[in-house]
Structure 1
Amino acid sequence: PRSRTNLVRAEQGLSFKRKKNSVQKMTVERPRRVLVSVYFLICSGLIENNEKKKKKTKRGRGEQIVKKQKKKIK
């Protein structure tokens, strides 16, 4: 074991792996997961959210204008 953490693990009797293997695994696994998650988000959530947000902003502005008019009349 080269690193301090691996030395400590070896003293405790735990299994220790070299860092190169873990780095290779992470680099191979991560981009796939990210791409899949982004793909699902775009398919399911983001498109609906964008449509909802546009509608809400228009409604919100209309409500604000109505409230201001009522206050002025009072």
Structure 2
Amino acid sequence: MTIQSIIDAGRDLLDEKAAAQFLDNSPGTLSVWRSTGRYNLPFIKIGRNVRYRRADLIAWLEKRTRETGATA
């Protein structure tokens, strides 16, 4: 792993506020989802801080994409 790849990976981490904005939700909603396990949205804990990988958020959205009106 190169120094540049480590730097790039760090830039790819979003804090809770930025991740919520990316998903058009509130940080509180993400907190509830984490604590209840409602959605399998990967996150990283660094001490008290929570971070989300942009790639994980995109993959999560892709999994939730529907092609019909079915909600199940």
- TM-score, structure 1 as length reference: 0.30
Q: Which has the higher helix share?
A: 1
When Rg is computed on C-alpha atoms for both structures, the one with the higher figure is 1
